[in-house]
Amino acid sequence: MSVIGSGGFGTVLRVKHKSDGQLFAVKCIQFNDFDEKETENVLKEVKNLEKVKSGYVVQYYHSWRETGCLYIQMEFCSHSLQNILEVKPQVFERQAGDPMDLYEYFISCEIFRQILECVQYLHELNPPVIHRDLKPENILIAHNVRNGRFLKLCDFGLATVHDKRIHYKTTRKHTADIGDMRYQAPEVGQGRKYGHKSDIYSLALIGGNIFDVDLLYILT
């Protein structure tokens, strides 16, 4: 029906099922020109989505290949947190730098609480999963709200399993310099050993955006 997003690894389409009219998001990834590592990352996203089926994560339904493309069928979400952040000050008639009123602050707290629960779910899996690309664009607003949960995580192409026995106690480390630099923890960019706390750093910066506070200045 339409294109609803695009990135380095593909285009996301809004599609409608011919029989029942249900809406889905289908990610189309063309990997004809990918090298071995890029192809591995593309296939890794499907494997990660299969691992993290939960109300905290955009639901994965099915995937298939067609002529050099991988298609991933997922739950359709209408907007991202980035869309919300762009209009939130205008909705509450607040100028940049002005304090929030009680209503905006309460809603901001609920948004951040739900994001924290989503990431907590990943970190409490056995073994834990590090998202490694947390940012407002990868936090989606559910089209059909269930149990009061309207925020979900998406885009697990860079997610990885974290095994403390391997990644802390041996010379093996997670991949360095990965994810969006705007929300990247220093240890990731510097190639040092890191774990789930790299996601916590990203969460702090996202929280700064939600509450309109320059946390990057505070953290550095």
Check: CB of residue 151 under 8 Å from CB of residue 114: yes
Mean pLDDT across the stretch 205-220? 77
Query: What is d(CA 76, CA 81) in angstroms, rounded to the nearest whole number?
Result: 15
Query: Is 107 in the same domain as 154?
Result: yes
Question: Residue 34: what pLDDT?
Answer: 72
Query: Is 34 in the same domain as 23?
Result: yes
Structure tokens that stand for 52 in this block? 């993290």
Annotated binding residues for ATP, as ranges?
27
- The closest of 52, 41, 56 to 7, measured between CA atoms, is 41
Query: Is 20 in the same domain as 120?
Result: no
> For the whole model, what pTM was predicted?
0.86
Query: Is 42 in the same domain as 130?
Result: no
Render pLDDT for 22-59 as a digit per residue (tens, 0 to 9).
999 999 988 776 777 777 777 777 888 888 889 999 99
Q: How many CB atoms lie within 10 A of CB 130?
A: 24
At 66, which CATH number? 3.30.200.20
Query: What is d(CA 165, CA 15) in angstroms, rounded to the nearest whole number?
Result: 43
**Cα separation values, 185 from 119, 163, 192, 194, Å:** 15, 19, 10, 9
- Specify the range with the lowest mean pLDDT, choosing from 118-127, 132-141, 151-160: 151-160
Provide the pLDDT confidence category of residue 220 given band limits of 50, 70 and 90.
low
Render pLDDT for 75-113 as a digit per residue (tens, 0 to 9).
999 899 999 999 999 999 998 778 999 999 999 999 999
**Overall domain count for the chain:** 2
Render pLDDT for 112-121 as a digit per residue (tens, 0 to 9).
999 999 999 9
Q: Which residue has the tokens 């990135």?
A: 7
Question: Residue 170: what pLDDT?
Answer: 45
* Residue 28 structural domain: 2-77
Query: Is 67 in the same domain as 90?
Result: no
Query: Is 107 in the same domain as 151?
Result: yes
Q: What is the DSSP string of 47-73?
A: HHHHHT-STTBPPEEEEEEETTEEEEE
Render pLDDT for 144-202 as a digit per residue (tens, 0 to 9).
787 788 999 998 888 888 876 554 554 456 676 677 889 998 888 888 888 899 999 99
Annotated binding residues, as ranges?
27
